Chains A and B, each alone.
Chain A
Amino acid sequence: MPEPRVVLYAPSSTAVPEVSRPVTAWRRLWDNATLRKTVIIVALALAWEGYARILDNPLLFPTLTDTLGAVVDHVRDGSLPARTWTSLRVLVVGFGSGVVLAAILTVVAINTRIGTDILETLTAMFNPLPAIALLPLALIWFGLGMGSLVFVLTHSVLWAVALNTHAGFLGVSQTQRMVGRNYELRGLRYVFLILIPAAFPSILTGLKIGWAFAWRTLIAAELVFGVSSGQGGLGWFIFENRNVLDIPAVFAGLLTVIVIGLAVENLVFRTIERRTIRRWGVQA
């Protein structure tokens, strides 16, 4: 029977062809998401300007330049920043209280079975209920002003965040739970050191959805009544200017809403994503 033989190869003496090469500059530019999105926004702006010029009816659809002019005017006289500030303040309070309540509900839910039942029942009941539908009731309870706005905002944020956080907690792998118990982590330490970071992708999704709901609800609620301690927010700014048919100012208000939404998404959430879930490799 023949013995197995090993035939050895000497390492190649000629130069090995390139193992890796840099990608082209054009490709690298196109890989930059910010740049790609800027291109999209510039294209949309050009389309807006072009269409408005063809239409030539500033009462129906002002041009981008008119709108930007209105933005500059209202920033100069201080009304737009003041209105934006009012809206953002209410927004932060409402969003914050919604998130805190959601955190309490889900922590109770993850630790007790009755808590889970409570959370599931409440979410099933209230999540489909539009926040705006609660506004008439809120006005009776809390009167005209910040209290009512915060109430409807909290409602709009709470269920979306709680639902996503709870789903995230339930999705934490059995292995990671066992690792946490192996480390003798119990109660809140277990929640904060294992469950929350492990469920962070879902929690972040919940926060993003909650943020969008809150922003929408706020502007809509301010369109119904804008006055809070003598001064309205962005929604009221839009409503007021529509009443005096200052359509470029209406567009300026809408543009501000959009710009703030874009800024929060791209600066705040994108930064959190980059520093957390992308770095951890739990989301592409």
Chain B
Amino acid sequence: MARLLEVDRCTLRYRTDRAVVTATHRVSFHVEQGDRYVLLGPSGCGKSTLLKAVGGYIMPDEGEIRIKGHPVCGAGADRMMVFQEFDQLLPWKTVLENVAFPLRAARRMSARAATEKAMHYVEKVHLTRVAHSHPHTLSGGMKQRVAIARGMAMEPDILLMDEPFAALDALTRRQMQDELLRLWDDTRFTVLFVTHSIGEAIKIGSRILLLSPHPGQVRADVEDVGQATPEVAAQLEQRIHDLLFAPAGDAGAGLPAMAEHA
């Protein structure tokens, strides 16, 4: 059977007014059903660009991205995005309408079925109390929870999260990380998560792909992160830090994906 998501020697470039910038160079990885796959790297490693390519907003210059064996062409509701920006919720719709809207627009569900399903997911993220409020009355953390509920309600093949907690304060961020893990325990959805925080990657991820910058290339692949005890996690954090910030050439840069077993 085809893998859920395959990114195959993917080179991504984007054009600015003055130059064509290579964001990633021949990056390959694959995500299996139920993975919490984290793309981790410093800024400039192309992790967000990579996620946008999986989302279908950018076409690869080289290589291919496949979902269940089919090449990605264009954005689609089988890959729901959760963005970092708080304005990803449509301000003219209430919380419930925001979650129900894609169900109606993309899944063509009836108004009633969509509302019922949306309510179920709004309850899941504990926002029943504000279900009929407009997004501007919500805190940043609540808005991100709505965005997650919206993504989950669509039951996509894969949920794409682009630094969803980066704009939150530190306390809320920790709370949201715990909540995401709890939701995952509940439904075991597949998630591709982009972050620049090593701690967040270890906490959230079951697998971590380390990318080095300029252009983004795979530096290492960390497996079985989920079961790490605090001591192991602390060691792992140090190890990843060294890997990311060691001068290139020290630890096998340019080699294909190097497996790191925690």
A interface, CB within 8 angstroms of B: 173, 175-176, 178-179, 181-185, 189, 193-194, 197-198, 200, 276, 279-282
Contacts and interface: CB of A to CB of B under 8 A. Distances in A.
A184 B83 contact: no
A200 B93 CA distance: 13
B57 A181 contact: yes
A175 B88 contact: yes
A204 to B, nearest CB: 12
B185 to A, nearest CB: 26
Contacts of A185: 105-106
A179 B81 contact: yes
B137 A281 contact: yes
Given A197-B92, A276-B92, A280-B136, A183 B87 contact: no
Contacts of A182: 55, 75-77, 79-81, 102
Contact of B87 (A176, A181, A189, A279): A176
A281 B83 contact: no
Interface string B92-129: 10000000011001100000000000000000000000
B90 A198 contact: yes
Contact of A281 (B77, B81, B105, B134): B134
B191 to A, nearest CB: 15
Interface in B56-75: 56-57, 74-75
7 contacts: A178-B57, A181-B56, A183-B77, A197-B92, A198-B91, A276-B92, A280-B91
A280 B35 CA distance: 37
Nearest to A196: B92
B167 to A, nearest CB: 12
A282 B88 contact: no
A281 B135 contact: yes
B91 A281 contact: yes
A63 B52 CA distance: 69
B85 interface: yes
A197 B90 CA distance: 9
A179 B84 CA distance: 12
Given A280-B136, A281-B137, A183 B55 contact: no
Contacts of A282: 91-92, 136
Contacts of A173: 85, 87
Contacts, number: 65
Contacts of B134: 279-281
Interface of B: 55-57, 74-77, 79-81, 83, 85, 87-88, 90-92, 101-102, 105-106, 134-137
B92 A184 contact: no
A124 B87 CA distance: 32
Contacts of B136: 280-282
Contacts of A189: 105
Contacts of A281: 91, 134-137
Contacts of A193: 105
A269 B165 CA distance: 38
Contacts of B55: 178, 182
B88 A184 contact: no
A9 to B, nearest CB: 20
A200 B92 contact: yes
B144 to A, nearest CB: 13
Select the residue from A178, A181, A182, A184 with max chain B CB neighbours within 10 A.
A182
Contacts of B90: 176, 179, 194, 197-198
Contacts of A198: 90-92
B98 to A, nearest CB: 10
A280 B76 CA distance: 27
A68 B92 CA distance: 43
B28 to A, nearest CB: 25
A184 B76 contact: yes
A187 to B, nearest CB: 13
Given A173-B85, A182-B77, 19 more contacts: A175-B83, A175-B87, A175-B88, A178-B55, A181-B57, A182-B79, A184-B75, A184-B105, A184-B106, A185-B106, A193-B105, A197-B90, A198-B91, A279-B134, A281-B91, A281-B137, A282-B91, A282-B92, A282-B136
A182 B80 CA distance: 7
A279 to B, nearest CB: 6
Contacts of B105: 183-185, 189, 193
Select the residue from A176, A194, A197 with max chain B CB neighbours within 10 A.
A176
Given A184-B75, A184-B105, A178 B91 contact: no
A200 B92 CA distance: 10
A272 B81 CA distance: 32
Nearest to B83: A175
A282 B92 CA distance: 9
B7 to A, nearest CB: 19
Contacts of A184: 75-77, 105-106
Contact of B83 (A178, A194, A200): A178
Nearest to B102: A183
Nearest to A276: B92
A176 B147 CA distance: 12
